[in-house]
Structure 1
């Protein structure tokens, strides 16, 4: 009797194990293959590379996804959530890439790539029968539903966050036309999301609004009169709000942010004198330890080697002295009238001693002056 119960128990256990195996075969083993076996929560870097288009590069930070190229600002989390569902895209069929005509599948040359950390997905054309997209990864070509191509060819502005202010650290102070905003208006702008983000046109009108942060950085906008259009000239983007904002001013508000550092006006230290390279023997000569000669001053005047040496003190401007002989002899004409001789006695000091006067003790009378 006991043996019969034991046999029935073993049979029941075997039936249970068989049922678990069938359930695993139906639910797990036959689950369709996905495009990438990675978890979206573990991703840190996303790149979208298109031929003839700017690279879109996004990085996950502690405050969320942030675009690094072609613009530098927060990324739209909703858009990235849609894009990353491509990881779990079911694969309809796979085959080795070397056995396929890649040029006919739109994979040679590759015009669209999606990089997810170390994984690169190359996107090609459509299957003419099932209208599925060819995707190549790790030496295999997969066929997936064409539900992600429009996200990959979207312009970079579609990946920009619609939040007016960055997520990392709210501003502590703001001004409108240089007048401080009231604390209530500043709090209303923090976390505000625009209806859409569009490229900034040639219209650069608006009143200046400046936000200042704890680290001393500033963010500037031009806001329209109805307070609905907020333009960022540095990124050439315009945030369009659903409703206009009421901006109240508080001239008594004090800026708590640190002031901007003054410009460094200190003179730069002179460059170290260059040394002459050592000789081929490897020993340093006296010339190698001597500083290089100073470069000539391009503004200095050239010195005439035939000019007489000045006896003036160093640093004083040179003086020029003319003798009467320099003014008379060898000079043709007088002034602009080259055909005339200078007047008699021109350039002669009347109080100078007469060179023709007799020497003392000769007894001869001095010559009469002209």
Structure 2
């Protein structure tokens, strides 16, 4: 009897263990995976790239989220938090990209891309059956609930913080139209939150308000007459307030801050400086010789008169310039045994004229071409006429 109870007890324990294992497997099968493993508080940068629209770049620091592009202002933390809920969204179904027609799912190429640090998520089209959104990441196509698309296509102005003053700007002094404000009025501006923020489409009209920090940094607004519209011309933003703030004046207040840092002056146009290779060398003037040193003018006319040959002149050591005219050298005739033969000056030969023939025949007609030359002054009688 006792043995039978032990067997029943063992069977009961075994059934309980099996039931627990089956339940855990069923729960594991029913659990839905998340789109990413990232945590919003650990994220540094979120980047929204859209076709035909400016890219929105958001970064997180210790003070909160800031917009880096297309403008540099504080971002609305609530709006960014709604967008980052996509990190923990549940995946309805997943399949590999290689098994999907990406062009039909509008994922090749995607019109929207969300980059969260190093994780890239491509946003595709809608599933016509379940009205879910196709997204692609890390080689997989996921189907998620479509509750983030309107945040991805929102204009940049929707991500601008509605706080009137930046988080890192704490004014200690202010002026309204050149008159100092009370300390309480300046301090109260830190808590102002606008009803909405709009792009500044036209030149604002109103009175100027200047707020200064302890280091002299200045933030300027143009405030409307009812003090509900505050325009920042540097960012082209218009803050619309629900209730106007109290701006009490204190003309006797002294500005405790240093002067505002001067705006950087534009750099003058750089003057081109020639490099050593580009500099044109200036030729030094050549020394001019004196009148005594000038031997001959190289550009003068060529002398035609014969100059007696004087190779050394008065000074045998004198050096003649290369372009100096020289006289003709003397002519000597020597016999084979070395004796000199007197040379008589050469008499130029007169051109021999052609005698006129007394006959009617032209000169040379009938003259024997093979006859010896006649003596000087003699002419060969032409042959008679045939």
* TM bin (shorter chain): 0.5 to 0.7
- Asked if 1:225 corresponds to 2:225, the answer is yes
Quote the Cα distance in structure 2 between the aligned partners of 1:9 and 1:170: 74
Q: 1:264-275 to 2 correspondence within 5 Å? A: none
- Identify which range, 215-224 or 146-155, moves more after superposition: 215-224
Equivalent residues in 2 for 1:123-134, closer than 5 Å? 123-134=123-134
Change (3 A) 1:188 1:11: farther
Residue number in structure 1 paired with 2:51? 51
Q: Residue by residue, what CA displacement relative to the aligned partner does 1:234-276 show, whole Å, maximum 9, x if unpaired?
A: 11111111111221011222222222345789x99x99x9874
Residue 76 of structure 2: aligned partner: 76
How far apart, CA to CA, are the structure 2 residues paired with 1:263 and 1:197?
Answer: 28
Change (3 A) 1:51 1:8: same
Residues 171 and 187 of structure 2 are in contact (CA less than 8 Å); yes or no, is this contact kept in structure 1? no
Deviations 1:313-349 (A, max 9, x none): xxxxxxxxxxxxxxxxxxxxxxxxxxxxxxxxxxxxx
1:65 aligns to 2:38 (yes or no): no
Decide which moves more: 207-216 or 231-240. Answer: 207-216
The structure-2 alpha-carbon separation of the partners of 1:14 and 1:174, relative to structure 1 and needing over 3 Å to count, comes to: farther
| Larger Rg belongs to | 2
Unaligned runs of 5+ in 2: 283-386
Distance 1:263 1:95, change over 3 A: closer
Give the C-alpha shift of residue 80 in structure 1: 0.8
Tell me, what secondary structure is at the counterpart of 2:25?
A: helix
Deviation at 1:21? Answer: 4.0
Q: After superposition, where does 1:89-238 map in structure 2 within 5 Å? A: 89-238=89-238
Mark the CA change 1:261 to 1:156 in structure 2 (over 3 Å): closer, same or farther: closer
Q: TM-score, normalised by structure 1?
A: 0.67
Distance in 2, Cα, partners of 1:241 & 1:179? 23
Shift of 1:28: 4.8
Q: Say which SS state the counterpart of residue 47 (structure 2) adopts.
A: strand
Rounded to whole Å, the distance in 2 between the matches of 1:220 and 1:117 is 34
Deviation (angstroms), 1:63: 0.5
Shift of 1:217: 1.9
> Aligned pairs, how many?
280
Mean Cα deviation higher: 110-119 or 208-217: 208-217
Secondary structure of the equivalent of 1:190?
helix
Aligned pair in 2 of structure 1 residues 10, 247: CA closer, same or farther (>3 Å)?
Answer: farther
